[in-house]
Amino acid sequence: MRDLPEDVELENRPCPNGCASFDSVVLEGEDRLHGLPGRFLVVRCRGCGLMRTNPRPTGATMGAYYPSDYGPYASSLAEPAPLAQIPGWRRRFRAWIGLTPQRVPDMRPGRMLEVGCASGAYLARMQREGWSVEGIEFSDTAAAQARSRGINVQTASIESAVPPSEPVDLVTAWMVLEHVHEPVLALTQIRNWIKPNGWLAASVPDAGSLVHAMFGELAYDLHLPNHLFHYTPKTLTAVLRRAGWQVERIWWQRNPNTFLQSLERFARLRKRARLLRFAEWLRTAPGAGRLRATLGLLLGLTRQSGRMEVWARPSASDPQQPR
């Protein structure tokens, strides 16, 4: 927690589930995506098991760790192929074996909101499929790129965002909840924006996977300090429940990238030249495509891909407000 970027301030925050302040240190790490300065602790709440980055940059100063070339913003510039252009048998087969990420429940297109929409590629695709879309994005640069597609996107955090003009049928949050400073507050807010029979579809890294156990501070999706919370299926379910959501389904993406990126980072930093060449080949070579797909399938089926998706609906009980 030394040598921070200029104007970055840190804060200590308790567990959002309202647990007593008894934490154990899990690890210490740094920003390995952009190499920005600072060392940060990940702690585990001894009450509920939820892991979080603490101390952490405040919401007002966290922007220093989201430069304009932040990787997820750039990766969302390219629009995914419309589902209508993918043959029906292939869509059904990919869905059946779990190769389709960012899936939503089977429902008619209606009103949808994407929180953390980045540059708007997913919203653009959903709009082409008949959805009435809008988004929320923390980054001014990414939000402006999304608006350039003709999509209504406000620049705000979830906690400070203006509610949709009317309740929505679907809220999506792809790799977002780990970035949120106050997840219970944010998820409670989202619950107030959605119809009683609506859905939340979200994805988060799985901090309980073998990838994290094997690589520790070098795990690709640890991503300090941007990832403020480090969920497992149990702790993600607990946070959602506290915010008034009932989890309907959790599954693991059939995606090997978390493992492969972690292996490549480990090999590079440990100066293992042969292992690095193999990891780079396996991650990028066209000839390794089938091997990557097989590895991703195996990791997903064994719940070890490091990336999980969840579907949830508003529960009948009222949210439990943070203490």
pLDDT tens, per residue, the chain with 323 residues: 457 888 899 999 999 999 987 899 999 999 999 999 999 999 999 999 999 999 999 999 998 998 877 766 554 444 554 544 555 545 554 554 455 678 999 999 999 999 999 999 999 999 999 999 999 998 888 999 999 999 999 999 898 899 998 999 999 999 999 999 999 999 999 999 999 999 999 999 999 999 999 999 999 999 999 999 999 999 999 999 999 999 999 999 999 999 999 999 999 999 999 999 999 999 999 999 999 999 999 999 999 999 999 999 999 876 665 44
Long-range Cβ pairs for the range 122-127 (8 Å, 24+) = 122/76, 122/80, 122/172, 122/174, 123/149, 123/151, 123/153, 124/79, 124/149, 124/151, 125/79, 125/80, 125/82, 125/83, 127/151
CA count, 13 A, side-chain hemisphere, 180? 30
Return the pLDDT at 70.
73
Neighbouring residues of 24: CB distance < 8 A, sequence distance ≥ 6: 43, 44, 46
Q: Classify strands 194-205 and 168-174 as parallel, antiparallel or unpaired.
A: parallel
Question: CATH for 68-253+306-314?
Answer: 3.40.50.150
Rounded Cα distance, 67 and 175, in Å: 18
Determine the Cα–Cα distance for residues 296 and 257; give it in Å rounded to an integer: 8
**Encoded amino acid at 230, one letter:** H
The residues pairing with 57 across neighbouring beta strands, listed in sequence order, are 10
Cα 112 to Cα 99, 123, 184, 185, 201, distances in angstroms: 23, 9, 21, 20, 11
CA distances in angstroms from 12 to 42, 45, 56, listed in the order given: 12, 13, 7
What is residue 269's three-state secondary structure? helix
CA separation (Å) from 265 to 36, 73, 198, 230, 269? 16, 21, 40, 20, 6
Helix (H) / strand (E) containing 137: strand 132-137
Position of tokens 């040598």? 3
**What does the alpha-carbon distance between residue 57 and residue 48 come to, in Å, rounded to a whole number?**
23
Only one residue has tokens 């292996």, namely 263
Is there a contact between 54 and 12 (Cβ–Cβ < 8 Å)? yes
Q: What's residue 323's pLDDT? A: 46
How many Cα atoms within 13 Å fall on the side-chain side of residue 213?
A: 6
pLDDT of residue 139: 87
Instruction: Provide the pairing of β-strand 168-174 with 245-252.
Output: unpaired
What b/e string do you get for 40-70 counting C-beta neighbours within 10 Å, with b at 16 or more? Answer: bbbbbbeebebbbbbebbebebbebbbeeeb
Tell me how far CA of residue 195 lies from CA of 31, 152, 164, 170, 198, in angstroms. Answer: 38, 20, 12, 8, 5
Please, how many CA atoms are within 13 Å of residue 265, restricted to the half-sphere of its CB? 22
Q: Which residue has the tokens 């619950």?
A: 191
Structure tokens at 284: 């990028």
